[in-house]
Structure 1
Amino acid sequence: MEQKVAPYLRGGVAGQQVVLEGNRLVLTCLAGGSWPLQYRWTLNNSNITDWTQQYRLSVSSLKRTDAGLYQCTMRNRMGAVIHRRTEVQVAYLGSFSTEEQRKTVTQGRAAVISTPPLASFPRPLVTWFKDGQKIIPNNRM
């Protein structure tokens, strides 16, 4: 008589993933135990799949709204196990507004030029240019 084994986790999983918006996300829920094993995925504690025999979750083109805490629950006739959570962050870079900024200052006075608003994650690195040449920061700039 074959011994029945409750589901158990196999291998580790990344606690955090950063994926570029529009790219594919694949999460894997590795488990052992007596077959058939079934899997269900949640996002921020809400079910996003029904029970299935598919141990992978695939999102073909990630959107910003797909960011959050993903978790897999696996089960068989002997019990259920909740998989470790994976936080998925979606990296994106919006577009600059096309509005031109003009400043008039008296010679010798400071001119403050602000970066235009830009929706992005993570925070972007900004490089300034003057007349097509990169500005190297110094004590004046």
Structure 2
Amino acid sequence: MNLGDLHKVWEIKALKRKPGEEEAKIILEKIAKQVQPIMRKHKWRVKLLSEFCPNNPALLGLNVGAGIHVKLRLRRPNRDWDFYPFDQVLDTMLHELCHNAHGPHNASFYKLWDELRKVQFHSFR
């Protein structure tokens, strides 16, 4: 077995109570695939990647337990069919992955996030 295969998103779940569940799942799958090379490089794992819709409209993502569960907001608040642009969700995922290495939002965290953005968005274009 290739050990690189361990460093990935293991499970994906979209919200079942929202319209467009299949579209949400496809977005999460694309996000997981897009960040897999970065996850391999840093030896990061995410057990569960899921969609969430928190009450706080400013909250776009959450990383629980350094990758045990990453939650991403895919839709604009109170607009269930209005998904955020892919690049914005991808950037939120990069932000949440940085929490696998750095808990607080400190200089090391932002340095890593900037590095991941350069790699990801340079290769994505």
Query: Which structure has the bigger radius of gyration?
Result: 1
TM over 0.5: no
Q: Which structure features the higher share of helix residues? A: 2
Which protein is richer in strand relative to its size? 1
Q: Normalized against structure 2, the TM-score is what?
A: 0.28
Instruction: Return the TM-score normalized by structure 1.
Output: 0.25
